[in-house]
Amino acid sequence: DSGVTQTPKHLITATGQRVTLRCSPRSGDLSVYWYQQSLDQGLQFLIQYYNGEERAKGNILERFSAQQFPDLHSELNLSSLELGDSALYFCASSVGAGGLQETQYFGPGTRLLVL
Amino acid sequence: KNEVEQSPQNLTAQEGEFITINCSYSVGISALHWLQQHPGGGIVSLFMLSSGKKKHGRLIATINIQEKHSSLHITASHPRDSAVYICAVIQGAQKLVFGQGTRLTINP
Protein backbone atom coordinates (compact mmCIF):
# COMPACT_ATOMS: atom_id res chain seq x y z
CA ASP A 1 0.00 0.00 0.00
CA SER A 2 1.57 3.25 -1.21
CA GLY A 3 -0.52 5.49 1.04
CA VAL A 4 -2.06 7.22 -1.98
CA THR A 5 -5.80 6.74 -2.26
CA GLN A 6 -8.00 7.20 -5.30
CA THR A 7 -11.76 7.17 -5.61
CA PRO A 8 -13.75 5.76 -7.21
CA LYS A 9 -12.07 2.51 -8.20
CA HIS A 10 -14.34 2.04 -11.20
CA LEU A 11 -16.52 4.44 -13.11
CA ILE A 12 -18.86 3.74 -16.00
CA THR A 13 -20.44 6.66 -17.80
CA ALA A 14 -21.73 7.75 -21.19
CA THR A 15 -20.25 9.87 -23.92
CA GLY A 16 -20.71 13.57 -23.38
CA GLN A 17 -20.83 13.27 -19.60
CA ARG A 18 -18.51 14.80 -16.99
CA VAL A 19 -16.77 12.93 -14.17
CA THR A 20 -14.50 13.82 -11.28
CA LEU A 21 -11.71 11.59 -10.04
CA ARG A 22 -10.31 12.14 -6.59
CA CYS A 23 -6.85 11.56 -5.15
CA SER A 24 -5.48 11.87 -1.63
CA PRO A 25 -1.68 11.95 -1.49
CA ARG A 26 0.52 10.27 1.10
CA SER A 27 0.64 12.11 4.39
CA GLY A 28 3.18 14.90 4.09
CA ASP A 29 3.52 14.81 0.31
CA LEU A 30 3.01 18.16 -1.37
CA SER A 31 3.08 17.15 -5.03
CA VAL A 32 0.36 15.29 -6.89
CA TYR A 33 0.63 13.91 -10.43
CA TRP A 34 -2.05 12.59 -12.77
CA TYR A 35 -1.48 9.96 -15.45
CA GLN A 36 -3.64 8.28 -18.07
CA GLN A 37 -2.98 4.71 -19.21
CA SER A 38 -4.86 3.50 -22.26
CA LEU A 39 -4.40 0.37 -24.32
CA ASP A 40 -3.35 2.22 -27.47
CA GLN A 41 -1.25 5.04 -26.01
CA GLY A 42 0.25 3.49 -22.90
CA LEU A 43 1.09 5.69 -19.93
CA GLN A 44 0.91 9.44 -20.41
CA PHE A 45 1.72 12.19 -17.96
CA LEU A 46 -1.14 14.66 -17.65
CA ILE A 47 -0.31 17.25 -15.01
CA GLN A 48 1.49 17.95 -11.73
CA TYR A 49 0.45 20.16 -8.83
CA TYR A 50 2.71 21.28 -6.03
CA ASN A 51 1.17 22.73 -2.89
CA GLY A 52 -1.89 23.93 -4.75
CA GLU A 53 -0.15 25.36 -7.79
CA GLU A 54 0.22 23.84 -11.24
CA ARG A 55 3.86 22.80 -11.64
CA ALA A 56 4.16 20.83 -14.86
CA LYS A 57 1.80 20.14 -17.71
CA GLY A 58 1.90 17.14 -19.98
CA ASN A 59 -0.52 15.82 -22.56
CA ILE A 60 -3.65 17.00 -20.82
CA LEU A 61 -6.58 17.70 -23.13
CA GLU A 62 -8.47 20.98 -22.90
CA ARG A 63 -11.59 18.99 -21.89
CA PHE A 64 -9.68 17.86 -18.79
CA SER A 65 -8.80 20.00 -15.81
CA ALA A 66 -7.31 19.41 -12.40
CA GLN A 67 -6.82 21.20 -9.14
CA GLN A 68 -5.18 20.65 -5.79
CA PHE A 69 -7.01 21.86 -2.71
CA PRO A 70 -5.62 23.40 0.50
CA ASP A 71 -5.79 20.01 2.23
CA LEU A 72 -3.60 18.74 -0.67
CA HIS A 73 -6.10 16.33 -2.14
CA SER A 74 -6.53 16.66 -5.87
CA GLU A 75 -9.33 16.22 -8.35
CA LEU A 76 -9.18 15.49 -12.06
CA ASN A 77 -12.23 16.63 -13.98
CA LEU A 78 -12.98 15.04 -17.33
CA SER A 79 -15.73 16.60 -19.42
CA SER A 80 -17.45 16.00 -22.75
CA LEU A 81 -16.27 12.43 -22.46
CA GLU A 82 -15.46 10.42 -25.55
CA LEU A 83 -15.05 6.69 -26.05
CA GLY A 84 -11.30 7.21 -26.33
CA ASP A 85 -11.15 8.59 -22.81
CA SER A 86 -11.72 5.09 -21.47
CA ALA A 87 -8.54 4.33 -19.55
CA LEU A 88 -6.92 3.79 -16.20
CA TYR A 89 -6.21 7.08 -14.46
CA PHE A 90 -3.43 7.03 -11.90
CA CYS A 91 -2.58 9.59 -9.32
CA ALA A 92 0.85 9.70 -7.71
CA SER A 93 2.39 11.84 -5.02
CA SER A 94 5.87 12.89 -3.98
CA VAL A 95 7.41 14.75 -1.12
CA GLY A 96 8.28 18.17 -2.45
CA ALA A 97 9.17 20.53 -5.19
CA GLY A 98 11.71 18.34 -6.95
CA GLY A 99 9.12 17.85 -9.60
CA LEU A 100 9.33 15.05 -12.09
CA GLN A 101 12.74 13.98 -10.74
CA GLU A 102 11.32 12.87 -7.40
CA THR A 103 10.37 9.32 -6.50
CA GLN A 104 6.62 9.04 -6.91
CA TYR A 105 4.17 6.84 -5.04
CA PHE A 106 1.27 5.65 -7.14
CA GLY A 107 -2.34 5.16 -6.17
CA PRO A 108 -4.30 2.08 -7.26
CA GLY A 109 -5.94 3.91 -10.16
CA THR A 110 -9.47 4.64 -11.30
CA ARG A 111 -10.73 2.61 -14.22
CA LEU A 112 -12.98 4.74 -16.41
CA LEU A 113 -15.22 3.19 -19.04
CA VAL A 114 -17.06 5.51 -21.39
CA LEU A 115 -19.93 3.86 -23.26
CA LYS B 1 9.96 6.56 -34.18
CA ASN B 2 9.16 6.79 -30.48
CA GLU B 3 11.36 9.00 -28.33
CA VAL B 4 11.72 6.13 -25.85
CA GLU B 5 12.23 2.57 -26.99
CA GLN B 6 12.32 -0.45 -24.74
CA SER B 7 13.61 -3.90 -25.61
CA PRO B 8 12.59 -6.56 -25.56
CA GLN B 9 8.82 -5.98 -25.66
CA ASN B 10 8.23 -9.41 -24.14
CA LEU B 11 10.59 -11.61 -22.19
CA THR B 12 10.02 -15.08 -20.77
CA ALA B 13 12.66 -16.68 -18.59
CA GLN B 14 13.14 -19.42 -16.04
CA GLU B 15 13.37 -18.78 -12.33
CA GLY B 16 16.92 -17.93 -11.34
CA GLU B 17 17.97 -16.39 -14.64
CA PHE B 18 19.66 -13.00 -14.92
CA ILE B 19 17.33 -10.54 -16.65
CA THR B 20 18.21 -7.40 -18.61
CA ILE B 21 15.68 -4.89 -19.91
CA ASN B 22 16.90 -2.02 -22.05
CA CYS B 23 15.67 1.53 -22.56
CA SER B 24 17.01 3.79 -25.31
CA TYR B 25 15.96 7.36 -25.91
CA SER B 26 16.61 9.83 -28.66
CA VAL B 27 16.39 13.12 -26.79
CA GLY B 28 18.41 14.89 -24.13
CA ILE B 29 17.18 14.06 -20.67
CA SER B 30 17.83 15.11 -17.10
CA ALA B 31 16.83 11.83 -15.48
CA LEU B 32 15.02 8.56 -15.99
CA HIS B 33 12.54 6.50 -13.98
CA TRP B 34 12.08 2.74 -13.93
CA LEU B 35 8.59 1.61 -12.91
CA GLN B 36 7.08 -1.80 -12.27
CA GLN B 37 3.43 -2.47 -13.06
CA HIS B 38 2.02 -5.57 -11.41
CA PRO B 39 -0.46 -7.87 -13.17
CA GLY B 40 -3.22 -6.32 -11.06
CA GLY B 41 -2.36 -2.88 -12.45
CA GLY B 42 -0.59 -1.27 -9.51
CA ILE B 43 2.53 0.79 -10.28
CA VAL B 44 5.64 0.98 -8.14
CA SER B 45 8.55 3.30 -8.71
CA LEU B 46 11.77 1.26 -8.70
CA PHE B 47 14.51 3.78 -9.46
CA MET B 48 15.10 7.37 -10.45
CA LEU B 49 18.49 7.81 -12.11
CA SER B 50 20.40 10.77 -13.45
CA SER B 51 23.81 9.09 -13.68
CA GLY B 52 25.69 5.91 -12.87
CA LYS B 53 24.14 2.95 -11.16
CA LYS B 54 21.67 2.18 -8.38
CA LYS B 55 20.97 -1.10 -6.61
CA HIS B 56 18.03 -2.20 -4.52
CA GLY B 57 17.96 -5.82 -3.46
CA ARG B 58 18.09 -7.97 -6.60
CA LEU B 59 17.43 -5.01 -8.90
CA ILE B 60 20.17 -2.92 -10.49
CA ALA B 61 19.65 0.05 -12.79
CA THR B 62 22.30 1.77 -14.85
CA ILE B 63 22.27 4.78 -17.09
CA ASN B 64 24.67 6.21 -19.64
CA ILE B 65 23.50 9.72 -20.42
CA GLN B 66 25.97 10.19 -23.30
CA GLU B 67 24.91 6.98 -25.00
CA LYS B 68 21.23 7.67 -24.26
CA HIS B 69 20.70 4.25 -22.77
CA SER B 70 19.59 2.69 -19.51
CA SER B 71 19.32 -0.91 -18.38
CA LEU B 72 17.40 -2.63 -15.64
CA HIS B 73 18.86 -5.90 -14.38
CA ILE B 74 17.23 -8.50 -12.16
CA THR B 75 19.47 -11.08 -10.54
CA ALA B 76 18.20 -14.49 -9.40
CA SER B 77 14.80 -13.83 -10.98
CA HIS B 78 11.67 -15.15 -9.29
CA PRO B 79 8.09 -15.66 -10.51
CA ARG B 80 7.01 -12.71 -8.35
CA ASP B 81 9.16 -10.49 -10.59
CA SER B 82 6.65 -11.13 -13.39
CA ALA B 83 5.33 -7.71 -14.31
CA VAL B 84 5.53 -4.97 -16.91
CA TYR B 85 8.63 -2.80 -16.53
CA ILE B 86 8.39 0.73 -17.85
CA CYS B 87 11.05 3.37 -18.30
CA ALA B 88 10.19 7.05 -18.42
CA VAL B 89 12.54 9.88 -19.36
CA ILE B 90 12.42 13.41 -18.04
CA GLN B 91 13.12 16.25 -20.43
CA GLY B 92 13.59 19.60 -18.78
CA ALA B 93 11.16 20.48 -16.03
CA GLN B 94 7.89 19.64 -17.68
CA LYS B 95 8.12 16.68 -20.01
CA LEU B 96 7.87 13.04 -19.01
CA VAL B 97 7.83 10.46 -21.80
CA PHE B 98 7.15 6.78 -21.23
CA GLY B 99 8.41 3.73 -23.04
CA GLN B 100 5.91 1.14 -24.17
CA GLY B 101 6.91 -1.30 -21.44
CA THR B 102 8.53 -4.73 -21.31
CA ARG B 103 6.35 -7.63 -20.22
CA LEU B 104 8.43 -10.03 -18.13
CA THR B 105 7.28 -13.55 -17.27
CA ILE B 106 9.36 -15.71 -14.98
CA ASN B 107 8.40 -19.37 -14.98
CA PRO B 108 9.07 -21.58 -11.93
pLDDT tens digits for B17-71?
999 999 999 988 889 999 999 988 899 999 999 999 999 999 999 999 889 999 9
- Flag if B90 and A101 touch (Cβ within 8 Å): yes
- Nearest CB to A101 within list B41, B48, B101: B48
HSE, side-chain direction, 13 A CA sphere, residue A36: 22
Measure the CA–CA gap between B75 and B19, rounded to whole angstroms. 6
Cβ-defined contact of A109 to B100 (cutoff 8 Å): no
- Pick the closest to residue A35 from B18, B45, B39 (CA basis): B45
Q: Do B93 and A100 touch (CB under 8 A)?
A: yes
Q: Does B30 touch chain A (CB under 8 A)?
A: yes
Task: State whether B42 and A88 contact (CB < 8 Å).
Answer: no
pLDDT beyond 70 at A52:
yes
Closest Cβ–Cβ partner in B41, B45, B50 for A88? B41
The confidence score (pLDDT) of residue A89 equals 98
pLDDT value at position B1? 63
Residues A76-105: pLDDT tens digits?
999 999 999 999 999 999 997 777 888 999
Q: What is residue A1's predicted lDDT score, i.e. its pLDDT?
A: 85
